[in-house]
Structure 1
Amino acid sequence: MHEVGVGPWVGPWPEGDHWDPELLEHGDRRNVVDAYRYWRHEAVVADLDTKRHSFHVAVENWGHDFNIGSVIRTANAMGAAAFHIVGRRRWNRRGAMVTDRYQHEHHHADAAALAAYARERGLALLGVDNLPGSVPIETYDLPRGCVLVFGQEGPGLSEPMRAECEAVLHIEQFGSTRSINAGAAAAVAMHAWVRRHVFDQHV
């Protein structure tokens, strides 16, 4: 079986406060990109804080949905500013693969609390769900500062959350299924923001 990560550091140890002596001595098997191998956890977070994007991700957590971890893992990969859990404070972290440790987590009791957080910071609250009246994310002008909100698998966005959202966006589909997995939808939505604000040279 292929072993993840790298073994103990070979040769003289590098100098710098960001290096972790334990990892240098025993190896680094964490799920991090090569640029962060052997770095202290706190140093990785601090470096990420200098390059995070300005979109946030929020997930409603009413039924302990296992897809939440997948959403959070993608939020890490896409460089989200932070992630927000709405509803139950405890959430299923298995799918996150420990990536939540490198992000900033916020908890909100309900949709109104999340909306208040967004308003205070000038962030547009945008739901992502294929609901009647929703608009295609492919043609929507995603704002730079926003919170992309996802409901739990099955029910989707709650009624109170829909009411708080500035707009509800859907992902265009071309097959027979009514919806796609919540984790997959979140990945598509986040990447749409990245394409709009990171790679679009006309912004």
Structure 2
Amino acid sequence: MYSDKRDKHNDDVIAGRNAVYEALKSGRPVDSVLIAKGNTGGPVGRIVSLCREKGVTIKDVSPAKLDALCAGLNHQGVAAIAAAHEYSTVEDILKRAEKKKEPPFIIIADEINDPHNLGAIIRTAEAAGAHGIIIPKRGAVGLTAAVGKASCGALEYMPVARVSNLVSTVEELKKMNIWIYGAEMSGQPYYQTDFSGACALVIGSEGFGISRLLREKCDFLVSLPMRGKIESLNASVAAGILMYEIVRRRESALK
């Protein structure tokens, strides 16, 4: 029997088959389950089935990666990353806007991998009055302990929904008359853009920006003027500037 032990440097890591299974079974928020490639035995199959039942992301990783993540703990080829907070749904986010009698104001984080960036985006979104954040299940950081810490408590108040397909989610939002704005270097200057209605702001990954398919679904592409020698801003900094421009436009429209 393996208990729910965690490394002091990775307090969101749960190592060992039994520990992971019991965490899932108890309903504890789990961001993802990592399974060593080729490790598909009976107990692992039970974990995989439970993950699918609960909608938890499964990642196949190398044994070496698990060794590094678990830092000496006997992981038995299985580990889980505990979520710092439960995920919401897109419907929860829309209901929040409806309850406040406000046009939806949503942030879509496309493949943000740095937990400090996602945490900072969550913090700014909460301060700016956004109704929620949408992130993808794969190719991005989830609600890990590091994200929670970087949000400085904002994660307790900001709904974060995790979806399987951002493109199809955006298509559904557009059907609800929510305008989609993508932060993109080739877009029009943000200060020439009217953000006053229902909107979703798409922020791309740190290295590659918005993915091609998602970019094609945006109604507008907006950019920040870069007057210096550096070509781009940190994703969370760019998100913060654009979020508060949305706040300014929305408040101006009410006057």
**Closer, same or farther: CA 191–53 of 1 in aligned 2, 3 Å:** farther
Q: Which segment is superposed worse, 117-126 or 66-75? A: 117-126
In structure 2, which of residues 129, 133, 158 is the aligned counterpart of residue 83 of structure 1? 133
TM-score under structure 2 length normalisation: 0.54
The amino acid of 2:152's aligned partner reads: M
Asked if residue 187 in structure 1 is aligned to residue 240 in structure 2, the reply is yes
Asked if residue 119 in structure 1 is aligned to residue 174 in structure 2, the reply is yes
Summarize deviations over 1:10-52 as a string: whole Å, max 9, x none: xxxxxxxxxxxxxxxxxxxxxxxxxxxxxxxxxxxx9xx6486
In structure 2, which of residues 156, 159, 171 is the aligned counterpart of residue 101 of structure 1? 156
Summarize deviations over 1:156-188 as a string: whole Å, max 9, x none: 111111111111110112111100111110000
**Contact 1:123-1:145 at 8 Å conserved across structures:** yes
More strand as a share of residues: 2
Report the number of matched residues: 153
Q: Which segment is superposed worse, 110-119 or 75-84? A: 110-119
Aligned to 1:160: 213
Alpha-carbon distance in 2 for matches of 1:82, 1:51: 15
**Closer, same or farther: CA 117–97 of 1 in aligned 2, 3 Å:** farther
For 1:12-31, what aligned pairs fall within 5 Å after superposition?
none
Shift in Å, 1:60 = 1.3
**Closer, same or farther: CA 95–53 of 1 in aligned 2, 3 Å:** farther
The amino acid of 2:219's aligned partner reads: E
More helix as a share of residues: 2
The amino acid of 1:59's aligned partner reads: A
The amino acid of 1:197's aligned partner reads: R
Alpha-carbon distance in 1 for matches of 2:115, 2:204: 10
Shift in Å, 1:117 = 3.1
**Closer, same or farther: CA 171–108 of 1 in aligned 2, 3 Å:** same
**Closer, same or farther: CA 103–173 of 1 in aligned 2, 3 Å:** same
Task: List gaps (5 residues or longer) in structure 1.
Answer: 1-45
TM-score under structure 1 length normalisation: 0.67
Aligned to 1:72: 122
Q: Which segment is superposed worse, 109-118 or 163-172? A: 109-118
Asked if residue 135 in structure 1 is aligned to residue 188 in structure 2, the reply is yes
Secondary structure at 2:240's aligned position in 1?
helix
Summarize deviations over 1:53-84 as a string: whole Å, max 9, x none: 63111101364553111111100000001111
Summarize deviations over 1:100-153 as a string: whole Å, max 9, x none: 2212221222232221331242211111121x3x11111112241000010111
Q: Bigger radius of gyration, 1 or 2?
A: 2
In structure 2, which of residues 197, 206, 215 is the aligned counterpart of residue 144 of structure 1? 197
The amino acid of 1:177's aligned partner reads: I
